[in-house]
Structure 1
């Protein structure tokens, strides 16, 4: 982003975000800074706030990519990379069955300490696979990959991901766009993967039930978090990134597994209203665009990818895990670039202001990197690692 910013010789920059959205983002970050300053862990919280600021800037930059080939390149790169992981998981399923062992997600999801990291990336890929079902020449291959994705979600018992896929499918059918047939095929694939999961699980029963009645402590966590709110949360929160709560003797949760509750607790009500206003505006513009451009399947798939990520964030840590949160902002930026083509805002910056912005940005980034490395080096391996979502603290804070 900085390279593109400095290499632009023209004093005018085109932005795909209007002034209202920019003001909302500014209010959101400002509330985060205030919350960080009054938190018990100012350094960590300020770093986390700056991290979110970098993601928003990334979204700004990605929103300038309105070229169809560039957008498709990003989508295909994501699909190819993710499919390679799916094929590795397929081998693990085959080895597990040949050894007559139960379907253990921690073995099948090889290399992932927390299997939800894998599921949170999967949800962004599913709408693009539904999009590719439209091309008959590769329809069988895409159907197989979609089937394997859904089967792995069943094996991992990611009920939130399954619910998000169903919500996306119902929403897509309600919009009555050109992907209606492909969405129905996707739902058929969903049923087939469910039947296959139960069939494979019955061969070597491992006690895995996708329809288990427990909530993994999420509902208790949500109610406890909401009940702990005070009047100060109308304006500021406890500090971005510092959430921690234990239920009984269990290990502490490092986030409440709900994006709305987390923002309200850590950033405050004003910040929550600001970010919700921007998300709702994006949804409204995207739906209006799709109704006017019913054959724009690229924008439609980007919208569904963003929407399914937002939906899953209500049940899981999509918004805090490193890879999934980056994908969320990238999809958001790509979507804004597509729906705001005719509403670009021009911003004039002279060379002196450009130099000042670049210096401040580089200084802040270097400080951020130095502090992150320092925190990581101070972690004591003898105390064990808590595999939390704060990627540069490995779940530990100072």
Structure 2
């Protein structure tokens, strides 16, 4: 049992180590592609574990934490994704991206089988430790900026990130776990400092969506009469202290940053233009997953609309959107019901908040499309389902002929996935620069 848990958690912990520890990317020319390559390797490794399970399990029984209704919703979602891909102007790339999402869902189902408390804590601690190493590097950059009397420029402080929002998208998943660790008095001060640094960096990056997501989540937690009420209030106090600290540090260098600026950074125009271009056809199918591109005026093209609901409606179609909303709503409903019955299960509660804040932030940012945050969203989803449905797993029986067919098709699809991803990567010309908000690789070339 112990060996099985180590094998299950190893790909996840390696993913955190290789994508979050601030080392120089050695497999690509920037952090985004470095993280995407590691994500692809992570998904393939999970796929190999699933295939191995089917080969070695004579009974061919797979216990899923998804009930039949949610399985149906996911199948409908993927069916209309592939259907939209086939009718897309970029059929090959869109099919690649749809299969990429399929692998994430498979990984989520596999991760949902990890419901042992000790194994989950191991995953959470690995995430926190690796991310904290990145936070400490950023702290050094703050110290250097202040000593040199330079403005608190997030593009310098957020070491190595070509888009500072990638950094914030990972942070939001970390915050609920730091709030959870405030319960332990022996490490309370250290955790408070780490939480403070995370929130300070969010202010430095002027990530209003991340701040709003944290506030919404805190209000939700208090409304649910959580057992973590004291820790959440402490987190809000930490938020206030970090806000005051930011303005004090910012005033020392007189950079005049406005964290509470009133502009929408083009988000509202982007959403409005996307919605205005929708047709009746979008109620059934979309333009194809992964192919969104829109420019506002003379700006560089946006490769996603910075809103998960609008994106799914535009690219996957209305039926897929309804299915996606239904499965997320069911997950949240089941989680709240579980937490009301198990009020002392703070581990599941923190996973629930981590998943929820990721969903909230996806309404303002590209959480659902960037390599690390996208993977984190499905990891937290899987861990949450595993805990909530611990005693209600659905056995799925597969005979040996169907098993052979599924493994064959899946192997062929994985080969296509790797071949196409490598082909697009080899076509990238870094000398042409980056587009604003990359979708798969860091440059928006897909041909």
TM-score category by the smaller chain?
A: over 0.9
DSSP 3-state at the match of 1:221: helix
Is the aligned partner of 1:127 residue 2:176? yes
* Deviations, residues 343-396 of structure 1 (Å, cap 9, x unaligned): 111111223322222222111111110111111112233433325432346322
Query: How large is the Cα RMSD of the aligned pairs?
Result: 1.1
> Do the aligned partners of 2:77 and 2:320 also contact (CA within 8 Å) in 1?
yes
* Deviations, residues 125-181 of structure 1 (Å, cap 9, x unaligned): 000000000000000000000000000000000000000000111111111121000
Q: 2:408 maps to what in 1?
A: 359
> Do the aligned partners of 1:12 and 1:348 also contact (CA within 8 Å) in 2?
yes
Q: 1:284 maps to what in 2?
A: 333
Alignment map for 1:116-265 (pairs within 5 Å): 116-265=165-314
When the two structures are aligned, how many residues end up with a matched partner? 398
**Which of 107, 130, 152 pairs up with 1:81?**
130
Is the aligned partner of 1:308 residue 2:357? yes
DSSP 3-state at the match of 1:342: coil
DSSP 3-state at the match of 1:89: helix
Is the aligned partner of 1:37 residue 2:91? no
**Which of 45, 57, 61 pairs up with 1:8?**
57
Q: Any unmatched runs of 5+ in structure 2?
A: 1-49
Is the aligned partner of 1:330 residue 2:379? yes
> Do the aligned partners of 1:385 and 1:396 also contact (CA within 8 Å) in 2?
no
Instruction: Report how far residue 18 of structure 1 moved.
Output: 0.9
**Which of 345, 349, 364 pairs up with 2:394?**
345
Is the aligned partner of 1:294 residue 2:339? no
Instruction: Report how far residue 8 of structure 1 moved.
Output: 2.8
Q: 1:375 maps to what in 2?
A: 424
Instruction: Report how far residue 397 of structure 1 moved.
Output: 1.5
* Deviations, residues 14-41 of structure 1 (Å, cap 9, x unaligned): 1111111111111101111111111111
DSSP 3-state at the match of 2:62: strand
Structure 1 residues 380-389 or 110-119, which shifts more?
380-389
Cα distance in 2, alignment partners of residues 161 and 373 from structure 1: 33
> Do the aligned partners of 2:306 and 2:365 also contact (CA within 8 Å) in 1?
yes
Cα distance in 1, alignment partners of residues 125 and 93 from structure 2: 36
DSSP 3-state at the match of 1:316: coil
> Do the aligned partners of 2:142 and 2:152 also contact (CA within 8 Å) in 1?
yes
DSSP 3-state at the match of 1:111: coil
DSSP 3-state at the match of 2:332: helix
Cα distance in 1, alignment partners of residues 86 and 405 from structure 2: 25
Cα distance in 2, alignment partners of residues 118 and 329 from structure 1: 18
DSSP 3-state at the match of 2:214: helix
* Deviations, residues 106-135 of structure 1 (Å, cap 9, x unaligned): 110011111111100000000000000000
